[in-house]
A and B are shown apart, each in its own frame.
Chain A
Amino acid sequence: MNDMSPESYVTADGRTIGNVVMDMRDITLKFGGVTAIKDISFDIREGEIRAIIGPNGAGKSSMLNVISGFYTPQIGEIWYRGKKRPPMKPYQVARQGIARTFQNIALFEGMTVLDNVMTGRLTHMNASVISQALWWGKAQAEEIENREKVEKVIDFLEIQNIRKTPVGRLPYGLKKRVELARALAADPQILLLDEPMAGMNVEEKEDMSRFILDVNDEFGTTIVLIEHDMGVVMDLSDRVVVMDYGKKIGDGAPDDVRNNQAVIDAYLGVSH
């Protein structure tokens, strides 16, 4: 299925990293004359924290949008759980168990935190429209079950005290956390995080790092994250893809990437 060794292994801190769950093959994405992603291949293993880093405009967010179905690449294949994925709409990808957050926070501002997180359970909705309209039978049972799951997530991310607050009133850092809660409520197989720490202060960053590690540890969720903050990436991730001008210039464990000359030139060498 792929060139990498398919066997699972155990990390130094005792987490089990499984087989390849998603394989991106020769992805090329163009917007008119601009090539955002040039012929990039990489894989994502079950249970790992996979980072995509690179300077501004490197194509990181485009890559995340390709994975989540917001963009469809002109060339290349996406293999998910051993099957080639046909072109899909974002909501179909979401229903496959891939949840995401956005760089510029996309929450439902007029709704409460609880309602926002509840929308994360929409992928698990089976009751018919009619049964929902009458709030009867299956719909009622489902609502209760969803609510239990959501309360667990809310507990886990320590946002109980703002459950009933409309999201529009929350400060930035908490909004990011609510967005993570909504994604987690879906019980995702893969969690995509687009700059989860952008614009946060040091304390908020530490909290967020802790939550990301806890999610991965506790639920075994595979996490793909894009991040600017190099320190954070190196501490958090198992493997790192480095992008620059739409091309892949490095791929490997944080330490390998750190010592890669092309990466140093493109990114680490530049002070920011």
Chain B
Amino acid sequence: MEMLSKIFVEPFADMVAAPDFLMQVIWEGLVSGVLYALIALGFVLIFRSSRIFNFAQGIMVVFAALTLVGLHAMGIPAWVSVALTLVVMFIIAVAIERIVLRPLVGQPDIILFMATIGITLFLVGTGETIFGGENKVMITSELGIPTGDVVLEPFGGFLLLQHLDITVVISAALLVCALLVFLGKTQMGRAIRALGDDHQAALSVGISLQTIWVLVWFVSGIIALVTGIAWGARAGVSFALEIIAFKALPVLMLGGLESITGAIIGGLAIGVLEKMFEIYWGQPLLGGNTEVWFAYVLALGVLLFRPQGLFGEKIIERV
């Protein structure tokens, strides 16, 4: 009886008793959720245009962040480093298309998936060789990202918002809006979506496979850089960041692999839910550290009842 009360009554009583603290928890969750969503977006973009599940998305985040920090360490001004990092991401996109994807056109999806694991290992190796494996500090202030905080007093309580987090949320929102417009309202965006739907038909309307693939890998490289800067500013730049990218997997299971809306809502939902679960249930009842596994268990539950995710396309095979 006491146990039931701890699970079903006390957490909610706590939430009502301290609404300012609840808001703080939700805010923290939203900020990580935004980053999960960004990583998931990179996955969705590549999956939509080529049906490839890009295992390398996580390492691309690390690699982009490392390149940025590394270039700046060589004495290059911060914003020039950003531009140069974008150039590097573009070169990577072209190289991946030329060397890895083009020879594998028409192969089963699993082969392409394995190839992206190969890309991951290659980028890990190259990254460690060039930049070394030790932890680095993101050049937050050099990029002009504010580092202070604001204190709000909702319900007469106390709510602390880091300037950094606010910047992250706003820039992520802008990036997502730009992507939605690009994919939904431009011919290039239509070409990307079309290619994912039907290769033959896409070719017949004059879409070049190669151009589009370079384009989507580059765009997901840009997303990787933004994610890398944001996450690097909070947790430092190291290869451990790659682990965070795996959080995108439950996000994708929740949101569906094809849906941009799904990636965003899935990311935010997982960010908020895992934080709330940790604070209100995990720490008092399970000894904490539930954030490590909560998202995966949630995704497992979703898989049981809606294998296509909440927003994915249900595939109906006609016999």
Contact = CB atoms under 8 A, between A and B. Distances in A.
A58 interface: no
A129 B203 contact: no
B204 A100 contact: yes
Nearest to B316: A168
A206 to B, nearest CB: 26
Interface in B182-219: 182, 185-191, 193-194, 196-198, 200-209, 215
B207 A91 contact: yes
By secondary structure, the A interface counts as helix
B20 interface: no
A118 interface: yes
B194 A106 contact: no
Which size class do A's interface residues fall under? 35 or more
A142 B187 CA distance: 9
Interface in B156-192: 178, 181-182, 185-191
B258 interface: yes
A110 B200 contact: no
Nearest to A90: B203
A108 B230 CA distance: 36
A63 interface: no
B128 interface: no
Interface string A67-83: 01010000000000000
Nearest to A139: B186
A108 B203 contact: no
| The 5 A-B residue pairs with the shortest CB-CB distance in the complex, in nearest-first order | A106-B201, A94-B206, A108-B197, A90-B203, A123-B206
13 contacts: A91-B208, A106-B201, A106-B204, A118-B187, A120-B205, A121-B187, A122-B190, A122-B205, A132-B188, A132-B189, A133-B186, A135-B181, A135-B186
Given A68-B204, A91-B206, A110-B258, 20 more contacts: A89-B203, A89-B208, A91-B207, A100-B204, A107-B198, A108-B197, A110-B193, A115-B190, A119-B191, A119-B202, A121-B187, A122-B191, A123-B205, A123-B206, A129-B215, A133-B188, A135-B181, A139-B187, A143-B185, A183-B204
